[in-house]
Amino acid sequence: MSQPQDLLDSVSGQLRNLPLLATPETCLGRSYIVTGANSGLGFEAAKHLVSLGAGKVILAVRNLSAGEKAKAKIEASTGKTGSAEVWQLDLSNYESVKSFAKRATLELDCIDALIENAGAEGYPVTITVNVYSTFMLAILLLPKMKEDAQRLNIVPHISIVSSSVAFSAQPLWDLGKADSNPVDKIVQVGQLDITNGYTVSKLLEVLAVRHLAPLIPVSTTGVVINLVCPGLCKTDIGRNASDDIKAVAGTMMDQIGRTSEDGSRTLLFAATAGKNSHGKFTADCEIKDDSVIPDWIKGKEAKEERKRLWDVISNEIESAAPGSTAKTFS
């Protein structure tokens, strides 16, 4: 598939010192869920939300101890207590996803935004976490967010953290076309390692959102679903990558890498971007669908393949949470 440099070409000219477009006016008193909030981008996004006066910020983390430490740091840094809460969420475990969604539905008065930032590397867990569980959580929380939109006259957002490196996965996607299970096919033909597995999972996220968004229009649900690329950021996400990837990424990070705080601003933009961002790819705190998404993903020819992919994802969700996808489209 792609060489290390190919995976980073799309961020070679990335901007830094991005604007913080989320404001106290847009965040005050609102409720947010941030997955993977104990470190990196998720931590910085959660800290911003607390600082901006959010009423409740759920730090959804696999490790509760790490989550509590993150919460303490956020409260110490912002001087604000009472809004951050630590909830357990293990996206590698479907039962944990279902339990978290049930708790959020029952205990939260509303969900203004679900920021799906948590990710994993290395197949098969990367596909489970980045694709199946990510969309399962969105599907399970969508009915509540839809009800919140109607009851409170708000526009909740589901923002899925993806990456522009997804578009370097076209060769594997082409090999998986027309297969009854494109996910299994591209894994088989690509012999996914950590790097390729991550890249393919990001592509699957993009394809799935582009199929799903027209089926759940904002005019019907009141809920926005979008994608966000935080760019190349100085986090530990590549700690398990190959040595050649680490070498290239290290050089790029030194030259143009964003800090986690800078990158987190893209997450906040997506979580407050409004109805025009529905189904769109955002980056650099802008909607960049037209300029970033390649034709082979946007074109009519890809429509059938996107549906085939979504069928695989929805079947996996249904097997773990029967009846959940039907509620999405009711």
- CATH number of the domain within which 82 lies: 3.40.50.720
329 within some domain: no
β-strand pairing of 281-283 with 224-229: parallel
With contact defined as beta carbons under 8 Å apart, do 243 and 250 qualify? no
328 within some domain: no
26 within some domain: yes
Burial environment of residue 4 by CB neighbours within 10 A (0 to 12, 13 to 18, 19 or more)? middle
The catalytically annotated residue of 31, 164, 198, 201 is 198
Secondary structure of residue 43 in the 3-state scheme: helix
Residue 90, token pair as written in the block: 């293990």
162 is catalytic: yes
Q: Which of 247, 244, 250 is nearest to 232 (CA)?
A: 250
Tracing tokens 């790097």 back to the chain, one arrives at 195
Q: If you ran DSSP here, which 8-state letter would residue 163 be given?
A: -
196 within some domain: yes
14 within some domain: yes
pTM over 0.85: yes
Can you give the residue range of the structural domain that contains 16?
Answer: 4-320
Residue 267, token pair as written in the block: 């997450």
For residue 195, name the pLDDT band (cuts at 50, 70, 90): low
300 is catalytic: no
How many independent structural domains does the chain possess? 1
The catalytically annotated residue of 2, 31, 51, 162 is 162
330 within some domain: no
User: 252-264 pLDDT, tens per residue?
Assistant: 666 667 888 999 9
Q: Give residue 51's pLDDT.
A: 97
Q: Which of 250, 251, 231 is nearest to 239 (CA)?
A: 250
Q: Give residue 3's pLDDT.
A: 45
10 is catalytic: no
Which secondary structure element, helix H or strand E, spans residue 30, and what is its range? Answer: none
285 within some domain: yes
The catalytically annotated residue of 10, 202, 264, 314 is 202
Secondary structure of residue 48 in the 3-state scheme: helix
With contact defined as beta carbons under 8 Å apart, do 325 and 311 qualify? no
Tracing tokens 């986090």 back to the chain, one arrives at 235
The whole-chain average pLDDT of the chain stands at 87
